[in-house]
Amino acid sequence: MLNNRTAVIIGGTKGIGLDITKLFLKRNFNVVVSARKISNLNLKNKNLLKISGDFSKEISHKKLIIKTLKKYGNIDVYINNVGLSDWRPIDKVDQKFLNKMVLNNYFSAVWGCKQASKKLKPGSSIINISSIAGKRGSKNNSIYSSCKFAITGLTQSLAKELGCKGIRVNSICPVLIKTPGLIKALKNKYSPANKKIDNFLKEFTVSNSALGKLPTGNDVAELCYFLSSSNSSSITGQNINLDCGVFPQ
């Protein structure tokens, strides 16, 4: 017997995305997890469907949704989690870097929102995983930050546009979360870590966090679950900071 709730998670095989995948499976959702290299996901569950694709391209979202509806018949929450963090000063930005950042951090969310909006039913939810970088800029981070600012506008606009269909659209803006992707990005010579990643994260926490800690991937997953539930039925168009008080608003 199939479950009656289905979550689609784009970029759900590692880091924050993997935490989201695991939580939704734990909460008895059918979960469709998607990424370029789906074979990297060593997770087995009878309610899990794995689909590979390049989700910076619209066609991949379209095919994914067709396969999901064919198997499960519905989509309750569509989570756009593809993202790529990388620091680079503006005078080092070239076309290749710009394309890579925009395709992964913005285009993927746009195409996901577009295709999901055609098939989601009233009461469903779209969640974009953004970043605190979408709320404030920082040194050597102009391209990543501007992509995340774009997610803020996308989320607010689509909430107005899709509200008449009963579809809610929100984004989550985490501060630094220690994932393999972040660690790799912080090794960049232009990052604020200056090759001392653990020291940087400790100093950042002490200097910026009101709670004396930084959030985890599971914190993001729990917020995704809440935003997908009827308990958040009056929340849409919000870009919610998940930052332990780093950037109070």
pLDDT, mean over the chain: 95
Whether the pLDDT of residue 42 is over 90: the answer is no
| pLDDT greater than 60 at residue 224 | yes
Q: Are strands 168-174 and 48-52 parallel, antiparallel or unpaired?
A: unpaired
Q: What pLDDT shows up at residue 125?
A: 98
Kindly list the domain boundaries of the chain, sorted by start residue.
6-176+216-242
Give yes or no for a contact between 177 and 220, defined as CB atoms under 8 angstroms apart. Answer: yes
Report in angstroms the alpha-carbon separations of 12 from 63, 76, 82, 93.
17, 16, 8, 28
Give the model confidence (pLDDT) of 101-157 as tens digits.
999 999 999 999 999 999 999 999 999 999 999 999 999 999 999 999 999 999 999
In this model, does residue 1 exceed pLDDT 80? no
Provide the CATH number for the domain formed by 6-176+216-242 in this structure: 3.40.50.720
Give the angle 221-203-134 at the CA atoms, nearest 5°. Answer: 45
* Tokens 């985490």, residue located: 174
Dihedral through CA 159, CA 163, CA 165, CA 168, nearest 10?
A: 60
pLDDT at 3 over 70: no
**% of the chain beyond a pLDDT of 70:** 99
β partners of residue 51 = 34
Q: Which residues contact 66 (CB under 8 A, 6 or more apart)?
A: none
Determine the residue type at 109.
Answer: A
**Distances in Å between the alpha carbon of 61 and those of 55, 64, 83, 100, 124?**
6, 5, 15, 18, 17
| Residue with token string 């070239």 | 94
- Closest C-alpha to 116, from 189, 184, 165: 165
Does residue 221 surpass a pLDDT of 70? yes
Q: 169-212, pLDDT tens digit by residue? A: 999 999 999 998 899 989 989 999 977 999 999 999 999 999 99
Report the SS3 class of residue 9.
Answer: strand
Find out whether 82 and 65 touch, Cβ atoms under 8 Å: no
